[in-house]
Amino acid sequence: MTNLPSSARKAALVFGGSRGIGAATARRLAHEGYAVALTYASRTDKAAEVVGSIEADGGVAIALQADSSDANAIATAMDAVERLGPLHVAVVNAGIYEGSPLEQFPLDMLDRMLAINVRGVFLAVQAAASRMADGGSIITIGSNTAVRSGVVGSSVYAMTKAAVATLVRELALDLAPRKITINNIQPGPIGTDITAGFLDHLVEGNPLKRVGRPDEVAALAAFLSGAEARYITGASLTLDGGYSI
């Protein structure tokens, strides 16, 4: 990779790109030749690590602090992205998981997950589409819980991810006249520094007897953003080793 002048570069934006799946996706898109902007909520150190690793490989990257539920913060981030080059790919990865059985489910937890996992996804997609070049790609990172959770206390999280799948399916119609594709990746259990040791109990119930890797999700995101996937839009693709079967 080389540091091309901004006039010759295409930009990619990864919402929630400082850790886990988002970080792997930012690195993969940089490897594909995009100048990458990534947003983060609070972990400046982790965001800097991702930017540093991309730059060490000869790529171009910037980190932008932005609350995914804040429309003004997202708009400010979009202004910064455009300095990298025309936006061609946006990956909406920001999200949170909190769980509780129905009887004890706090309303503030419900409000947080709706604000970030649904409202925040809509705001990010809306902002990206308004700045994106025709023919671009938008990818959301949902969850296989939209299909099947199997875990007590995950009902609201699963609801938010099912909402994302529906949103993507319907927005494909809005974006089709501009030849912008939008698709949703639904990962199952993925091993990251956040989930280390937490997912071990799910391995037995997985047909492939393992958890996934962030780079496997990133590879699918890279495919969906590429030329070979231009006939795929409005789809939700489950990546979970058969866990949802």
**Catalytic (active-site) positions:** 157
Q: Rounded to an integer, what distance in angstroms lies between the CA atom of residue 190 and that of residue 213?
A: 5
Is there a contact between 124 and 220 (Cβ–Cβ < 8 Å)?
no
Name residues whose C-beta falls within 8 Å of residue 149's C-beta, 6 or more positions apart in sequence. 155, 157, 158
3-state SS, residue 220? helix
H/E element holding 44?
Answer: helix 44-56
Residue of 45, 43, 40 whose CA lies nearest to 63: 40
Residue of 137, 140, 158, 26 whose CA lies nearest to 86: 137
